[in-house]
Structure 1
Amino acid sequence: MMSTVPSNERVLVWDLSVRLFHWALVTCITVLLISGFTGAMKLHMILGNLTTDLVVFRWIWGWVGSQTARFDDFVAGPMTVINYLHKGRPSHLGHNPLGGWMVVLLLIVLTLQTLTGLIGTGDGLTEGPLSRWVMAEVSSAAYEIHALLVPIIIILVVLHIMAVCIHQIAFREEMIKPMISGYKRSAVVIYPPKIANPWIALMCWVLATTVASFLFLI
């Protein structure tokens, strides 16, 4: 039987897979933006492949992963989000209701970005690995959408960083350190979240890598 954890105790909140995903995605987005603006398209394609791997993994892990990584743990209804914004700031070990929707929105945008990158063709130099499988008009439209999504991604990233800073500085809530160590202090007595078996995580990573590699090689 699972025992409770006293308040102010350190609790394992983020499993290793979530932490690796988070920092790998931070790195990929940064390098993708730089390589895209500077025209380093070979590097851009390599990082695009890795980002596809990461996005596929996160969608899978959102259904079968650790408790705090699952969508049903942090995707809340509209009223829950409104109550969170207007009736104080209750403590959340994982994503709060607003942060949860930010995760989903970012995943959706990144999914669209990877898909349009796969099939998009433009400027006579850039050709997605799946562009030959779609009509030229679709490929050209995908290229334009890929470019239009860039400022949206930048805005979402900036909003995420601002939210982290507000929670870290104004609310004095640990945000950065837990995403490195995995541990966070509980403000109340709780049952610790269930952490998924690392072997399940490894199988999910293998599946995500296989899917991403297949998309870039067919």
Structure 2
Amino acid sequence: MKSASGIRLSMRVWDAPLRLFHGASTLLAALLALSWVEGWPDIHRWTAETLLLLLLFRLGWGFAGSETSRFSAFLVAPLSGVEKRDAKRHATTRLTASSPGQATRPDFGHGAAGGWLILVILLALSGACLTGLCASPSDPFFRLLPPEETANAAFAHSVALIVLGALFALHLLLLLIAGRISGESPLRQFISGKKRLPAATRTPKLAGPGMAALVLLCALLLTLLLLRQFGG
């Protein structure tokens, strides 16, 4: 007889706004690099401005979004020796069960290293976006730079794009390795937002579309304010 702990069910763990952010930001980052290489200034600027909107949304969603989308869910300090032993014994749990009799939730999100990699990617994406908005005199944030730094803006943007591409490749490689180890397709999880987990797993709290719309509206207003204020 198979124990209840061995039963695995498909459970939604990633919300739609987060998955849409990942998909859109990946495509826009690729377009940002392509338009820079091909010399399409108008497309490049539009892409950077759209990325700014998405990054501001992700910042807000990291605090007001679903449980698994919040920075506090995956940005954890390196484990101490005692915590490492406890993690091995208890399958590395981070969120406790909602009732005393319910099992703790396995760590189905990012691990400590993966969480910090996501933060580094977000910082690199922010760097590529912001340097892309001040790399030439026609860019909205160009006039914020000191005169002696304007010559370095385009170089910094090129470096940011290279670093971003390397981080994306590393993230993809780690996803493929994790998928091979777990036997589950990361692409399928990305599209559906679901993952197969033990039946006793506590369902994570997912934010509703109303909260997503509010965060997006705030991000849009802030983006327009910044571009209007500094766009000249």
TM-score range, shorter chain: 0.7 to 0.9
**1:92 counterpart residue number:** 107
Tell me the equivalent position of 2:9. Answer: 9
Over 3 Å counting, the alpha-carbon distance change for 1:166 and 1:214 in structure 2 is same
Distance in 1 (CA, whole Å) between partners of 2:131 and 2:113 is 27
- Count the aligned residue pairs: 209
How high is the TM-score relative to the length of structure 2?
A: 0.80
2:130 corresponds in structure 1 to 115
Segment of structure 1 superposing worse, 72-81 or 106-115: 72-81
Instruction: State the one-letter code of the partner of 1:96.
Output: G
Q: Aligned residue for 1:200?
A: 211
Partner of 1:22: 22
Residue 75 of structure 1, CA deviation: 0.6
Scaled by the length of structure 1, the TM-score of the pair is 0.85
Higher-Rg structure is 2
91-100 or 11-20, which deviates more = 91-100
Secondary structure of 2:166's counterpart equals helix
Distance 1:63 1:83, change over 3 A: same
Q: Percent identity?
A: 28
Aligned equivalents of 2:168 and 2:41: distance in 1? 22
Give the alignment of 1:182-193 within 5 angstroms.
182-187=193-198, 189-193=200-204
Query: Mapping of 1:57-76 within 5 angstroms?
Result: 57-76=57-76
**CA-to-partner distance for each residue in 1:139-164, whole Å, 9 max, x for gaps?**
33333221211111011000001011
Counterpart CA distance in 2 for 1:172 and 1:49 is 38
Partner of 2:37: 37
Pairwise CA distance, 1:209: 1.7
How large is the Cα RMSD of the aligned pairs?
A: 2.6
Deviation at 1:7, TM superposition (A): 4.2
Runs of 4+ in 1 over 6 A off after TM superposition: none
